[in-house]
Amino acid sequence: MNEKTLKLLEYDEILRRVSSCALSSEAAALILADSPKTEIAEAAKQNGLVSAVLELMDSCSGGEVREELPETGELLKKLDVEGSSLEIEEAYALGIFLNRGETLKTWLAKGVANGSGGLAALLEKIPDCSAVSGAVFKVIDKDGSLRDLPEFKEIRRRIQALTKDLENAGARYISTEENRRMLQSVSPSQRDGRMVLAVKAKFRGRIKGIVHEVSSTGQTVFIEPEEVVEKNNELLIEQRRLEAAIRRVLRELTARVAERREDLSAFRNGVLYLETLRAKARYGLETRACFAAEDPSGALVLKNARHPLLGSKAVPLDFAMSGAVRSVIITGPNTGGKTVALKTAGLLALMNQSAIPIPADEGSCLPVFDGIYADIGDEQSISQSLSTFSAHMTNIASVISRAGENSLVLLDELGSGTDPEEGSAIAMAILDCCIEKKTRLIVTTHHGILKNYGYTRDGVENASMEFDGRTLSPTFRVIMGIPGESRALDIAERNGLPRELVALARSYLAEEQTDISALIKGLREKHRELDEAVRAGKVESERLREERRKADLKELRLRQKELHLKTEGAGNLRRLLAESRKQFENLVREIKEGELSREKILNVKEFFSHLEESVNEENRELEKEEAALVEERRLLEGESGKGFGQDKNPCSLKLGADVLAGETKRRGRILRASKKGHWVVEIGALKMDFPASELIAVPPLAEEKKPLIHKADLITGAAALHEINLRGMRLDEALLTLRRQIDTAVLSGLHEFSVIHGKGDGILQKGVHDYLSKESAVASYCFSRPELGGFGRTEVILK
C-alpha cells in the first residue's frame, strides 16, 4: 500500500483507536504496525476470525473476561541466557500472562462451538502452558508475594526471634525516664539494616556502643549499643541466608521454565495475536460496525456508511458502483461533502482489508484491492518550487504509473488549479488512461464538461452531492446517476458576498448555463419525486400489514372464544349427565326394592322436570354466549370490510330467503322454520338446522356463485416453540416471526416462551419490547437471568 495514501486517509488514526481497545501494550504495538492485506484469501481469513470474535461478543452468553495482559517480551529473552534468574516480579508477570492467556483461549473456544473453523485451527496451534504457570504459582502467591516455602521457614523463624530480641533491647533503653531524657526519639532507628538509638550529642558518652552516623546539625548521634551489636550481626547473617535461599529457588524455577521457552514463545505470540483479534472485534462492537462482503462481480457498495473519524457528526453515505462501472465522477456544491465521500470510500476499503469492521450497514460490498492511491488536498511546496497544480500533477503521475486493474484510485478536484479548458482536457485524458487500464476510479470535480463525459463513456457513471435549494445548504447525500451543480453563486451569497455582485455574476452565466441547469434541476426533481413515492408506498404497505395483523388477531380470539364455549358447554353437559344419572339410578333402585307408590311416581316426575329445567337453563346460557360471539364477529366483519351488502336483521329471515349459514358462511336457502329460533337451510344437497343467530340474510344472486370462505392467516401444522431465535433477521421479519409464535402458542396452550434477540445495536431488542408492550395476548415480559442470556434474551408470559 502507498504510505502517502495511508497518511492522507488518516489510516494511522484508525489503528490508534483500535489499539486503545487492546488489553496488552504489546498487542497494541502489533496493531499499530499492521497494514492492509492485498491477497483475497488472506483478507477473507482475517475478516472471518474477527467476525467470529465479534459474534461471540454480541451473543447473549459471551461471558468475556477482560483483564490486562502484562508485558513478557523482555523476560522471555532472559530465558535464553544460561544461568539467568527471573526476579519475583518477572516470574509473577509470566504466571499472570499464562493464566489470562488460557482464560482468553477458553472464552474464544465458545466461538469454535458456534462453527468458526478458522478460529479452531488457530487455537489448536497455541501450546498448553498450564504446567508452567502451575510451577510459577507454587513459588509465588496469586498476589505476587513469595510463598512461605519449607526452605524459608527456619530462616524466617530465626529472623523473627532476633528482631523481637532487638525490639526488647530497644525497649529497655526507653523504659526509664533518665534514658528517655538522653534520646532524641523514643523509637529505635535503622542504619544500614542495624538497630541504633538516636542519642542527644551531649549524652553520647553515657551509652557505650558504635557510632554509625551524626545528624547534619550535630545535635543527634546514632549509636548501636554494645549489647545489640551481636544481635544485629546475627540478624544480618540470617537475612543474607534468606536472600540466598530465595535466589536459589528463583534460579531453579527459571531453569524449569526455560525448558519450555519455545512453547512459551509460541504461546505468547499466539495469545497476543488473539488479543489483536479481540481488540478489533471490540472496536467493531463499540462503533456498531460490520464487515463488507465481497461481490463476485466486483461491485463496490456502501450502505449507510459513516466516516469513522467524524463520530456523531457523520452523515450516512450510500454509494454504489456495479462491477461494470469502473469510474464515478462526483460533482456538486462546494462544502457539499465530495471530499468526505472520497475519503470515506478509501478509508473503509483500507479498514476492510485490515480486518477492522467498518461503520456501515449489512449488505455493503468491497473488493480487495492490490493498491489504494489518493490525491487529495493542496500539496503546494515552496521549498520544492511546486505550485498547487504542479504538486497535483506530480502525485497523479506517480499514481497512474503504479495503479492497475485491481487498484482503487481517488482523485479530488481533478483538473483544478489551472485554466478550466486545459484542466478539463487533462482530466479527460487521465480518465481515458484509467478506463483503458480498467482501474477502479472515483473522481470529484467542478468542471462542467466532465459531466457530459460521464454520459458518453461506457463504464463511467455520474454522481452528485445533493443541495437543498430552499435552505441553500448541502445535505451531504450522494445521488447516483445524476450530475450536480457547483452552486458557487448561492454559496457565495450565503457567505456574505454582496447581492449586487451575485446578481451580476448570474447575468454573465444566464445565457450559457440555462439549458444544462434546467436539465439537472429536472433530473433532481424527478429523483426526489421517485424517492417520495417509494417512501409513501412503504408507509402504506406497513399500514395495510398492521391492519391485516389486527384483523387476523381478532379472528383468532373469536376462534379461541368459540373453542372455549364448546369446551365449557361439553363439560357442563357431562357434569349434568353424571349427576342426573346418579339420581336416576337411585330412583330406579328405590322402585325395584319396594312397591310403586304415589310418592315415588312424584319423585320420578320431579327428577325429569328438574332435568328438563337444567338442560333449558344450559341452552339459554349457551345461546347468550353465542349471541354475544355473533355480535362480536359481526363487528369484526364490519371493520374489515367483510359482509358488505349483507342484511344482519333477523327479522328479514323468511322462507325462500338466501342466507350465509354457520361459521364458514356457506350460502344456502331457507326451506322452513324449525323449533323456536331455528330454521332448516338447504346448502347444496344437504339440509341442516341452524339457529337464527348463525344466519345472515343476503340478496339473491342472479347466478349461483361459489360460497365465500374467509380464512385467518394462521400457521397450520406448526407447533409452538419454547424458544425462538430472531438474531440475523431484519426488524420486520423478526416481528412477523414473533407474531406467528404468539398466535401458535395461544392455540397450542403454551403460556411461556423465550425470545433470543441479542444485544448488538439494541434495534431488535427495542422493537421486540415495543411490540410485546402493545400485544394484548401478552401478560408480562422481562429480560432473562444473566446466566440464561441477560439483556440478549426476553421471557414472555401469555394471558
Minimum mean pLDDT range among 293-297, 301-305, 322-326, 782-786: 782-786
pLDDT score recorded for residue 647: 46
Minimum mean pLDDT range among 38-52, 136-150, 508-522, 602-616: 508-522
pLDDT at residue 436 above 80?
A: yes
Model confidence band, residue 495 (pLDDT cutoffs 50, 70, 90): confident
Q: Look at residues 363, 398, 352 and name the one whose alpha carbon lies nearest to residue 38.
A: 352
Sheet holding 686-691, edge to edge: 686-691, 678-683, 666-673, 658-661, 695-697
Q: Report the pLDDT averaged over residues 612-625.
A: 69
- pLDDT tens for each residue of 345-380: 999 999 999 999 999 999 999 999 999 999 987 554
- pLDDT tens for each residue of 582-605: 676 676 666 666 655 666 667 766
CA distance 458 to 218: 98
Q: Look at residues 450, 396, 403, 408 and name the one whose alpha carbon lies nearest to residue 321.
A: 408
Q: Is 751 in contact with 798 (CB distance < 8 Å)?
A: yes
Q: Is 698 in contact with 667 (CB distance < 8 Å)?
A: yes
pLDDT at residue 492 above 60?
A: yes
Q: Report the pLDDT averaged over residues 103-117.
A: 75
- pLDDT tens for each residue of 246-301: 899 899 999 999 999 999 999 999 999 999 999 999 999 999 999 999 888 889 99
Q: Would you state the cell numbers that stand for residue 218, as one nine-digit string? A: 550535630
- Which residues share a beta bridge with 331? 464
- Torsion angle of C-alpha atoms 278, 280, 285, 291, degrees rounded to 10: -120
For residue 72, which phi and psi values (nearest 5 degrees)?
A: -130, 0
Q: Would you state the cell numbers that stand for residue 193, as one nine-digit string? A: 539494616
Output 154 or 552, whichever has higher pLDDT: 154
* DSSP collapsed to 3 states, 701-713: CCCCCCCCCCCCC
pLDDT score recorded for residue 347: 94
3-state secondary structure of 275: helix
Burial class for 461, CB neighbours closer than 10 Å (0-12, 13-18, 19+): buried
pLDDT at residue 665 above 90?
A: no
Residue 603's Cβ-side half-sphere holds a number of Cα atoms within 13 Å equal to 14
pLDDT at residue 557 above 70?
A: yes
Q: Would you state the cell numbers that stand for residue 648, as one nine-digit string? A: 344482519
Q: Is 381 in contact with 392 (CB distance < 8 Å)?
A: no
- pLDDT tens for each residue of 190-249: 887 788 888 888 877 777 888 888 888 888 888 888 778 888 888 888 888 888 988 998
Q: Is 653 in contact with 695 (CB distance < 8 Å)?
A: yes
